[in-house]
Amino acid sequence: MNYGDWQATGNLEGSASIYAEATSGSGLIQIVIGETGLLHTLQIIHDDLTLNLGSFNLDPGTITFEWVRENSPNPGEFNILNSGVDGQLTLCKISYADEQNPIEIELGDIDFASGNLYIDWQRTVSNLKYIHIDSETNIDIDPLKVTWGSKIVTFEGLELKSGEFRFTWDNTVNKLIQIKNGIQSLGPGISYENLDEELKLSASVLSFQDDYTKTIEFRWYDDANFKGLYLDTDGEQLANWITFEAVKGDFGRKISLSGLQADAFKLGRNLNTNEFEIAGKIYLVNGLTFSKLVSDEWKDLEINWNLDGDGVGYIEFEIDNSFEDDWNINNAYFKGVKISASVDEIAEYIKLAWDVDFDLQGYIKVDTNSDSIAEISLNIQKDANGYTPKWGAYIHGTSMAAEDYEIIWDFSNPPGQWVLTTNGWIEPGSLDTIWIAWNSNWYSVLEGGTPTS
């Protein structure tokens, strides 16, 4: 049906009135619902504007959809102003089809409650682009999608309560994503796509901390110096589970971990040294998976650890053979434990375990699933209670291969009188140095392949 230069189609069961207005850069649709009713597939067209509303079942009240197109330096806006309306809507899509500045805003399944929702965005003023959500109500949306030509930002499984959320990205200079969340039950999925560049960035988060003053920052590196990922939360715990993925063409990197609390944590391939490099600090978690895309398949590096004990623990690496042979862990911190390592021709599996707390029996355990490592130097230590370090363990080996090998000693004797016993298998002579530390003192267990205790 035509109303001047407006066209509207749809089917209404119940009573409602619809008011619409639009200019070249803004507009609104207001629906006044007189009695509970069902509306099927409402479409309104005006010039290059198209509004589609799928079927909805709404209680009496007034709901207004209003929007302003981005006009630099002013941001774009999309708002839902809801006075008394509860119910469900299967689709809300607003699109401007002009060739110079096309935009489409799509909201999938929506559960309404009375209150307002404000969304604004900025993508033309600087390299940093953003979408900001300010919710004054409880509203569930799956998905929320904003499209500018070949660029798409998608939020999946949004469960919004009162609060603010901001998603910032820069895929040009800094190559970063920043997330600020002040909404208690924000859902798990966020992505940015640039179809022209074959670029997709995505983050899945569970149990987001609702503190809008805090920021999660992800960076991805794909240049002549480094290929990898970076995480930072300024040392704050901001989520219980996180997966971040960056894919551009045949380049792809992904990290998954339970718990997100990091200071400039970085891992990936250093192209200047041709080594796999880990640096920075990560807290809370007991493991992570770092993946890279190889011939359209994800190949994994898994690191697991238990560093909660005071001088007792382990760290374990399971490494796909597509990763670099040589490694450099540059004073990285895992849960407050400093780890430094240099490894040449790494094995696909390495586990180091230790008991250096000077309580009864102590041990160092090494396992490589019998695969050989050309050379390894690994230093693990933690400062605490005024001791530097409180405890520590250091090993060095060449042409080292081991299967459940452990070297055991009895702390009941003083240092220098420990009786060493061994279990398992190790390539003879390949483990040449073991030092352990307790309360700032270092003790030699093995030197030049010869026991010293």
pLDDT tens digit string along 10-63?
777 777 788 888 777 788 888 888 876 667 777 888 777 888 887 777 778 898
Q: Residue 274 has what pLDDT? A: 92
Mind listing the pLDDT tens digit for each residue in 179-215? 998 887 666 689 999 999 899 999 988 778 888 999 9
Query: Quick one: how far is CA 264 from the chain centroid?
Result: 13
3-class SS letters over 257-290: EEEECEEEEEEEEECCCCEEEEEEEECCCCEEEE
Q: What is the mean pLDDT of residues 220-226?
A: 88
| Contact of 50 with 95, CB cutoff 8 Å | yes
pLDDT at 234 over 60: yes
Q: Residue 262 has what pLDDT? A: 92
End-to-end CA distance of the chain: 94
Maximum average pLDDT range among 77-81, 400-404, 417-421: 400-404
User: Which pLDDT band, with edges at 50, 70 and 90, does 450 fall under?
Assistant: low
pLDDT at 2 over 60: no
Residue 296 contacts by C-beta under 8 Å, 6 or more apart in sequence?
none
Mind listing the pLDDT tens digit for each residue in 381-395? 999 999 999 999 999
To 5 degrees, how large is the angle CA 48–CA 54–CA 57? Answer: 140
Partners of 210 in beta bridges: none
Percentage of the residues of the chain whose pLDDT score is greater than 90: 49
Maximum average pLDDT range among 171-175, 403-407, 444-448: 403-407
| Contact of 78 with 92, CB cutoff 8 Å | no
Mind listing the pLDDT tens digit for each residue in 133-158? 998 888 888 888 999 888 999 988 88
- What token pair was written down for 190? 């966020």
Mean per-residue pLDDT of the chain: 88
Q: Residue 187 has what pLDDT? A: 63
User: Which pLDDT band, with edges at 50, 70 and 90, does 224 fall under?
Assistant: confident
Residue indicated by tokens 């041709």: 274
3-class SS letters over 217-240: EEEEEECCCEEEEEEECCCCCCEE
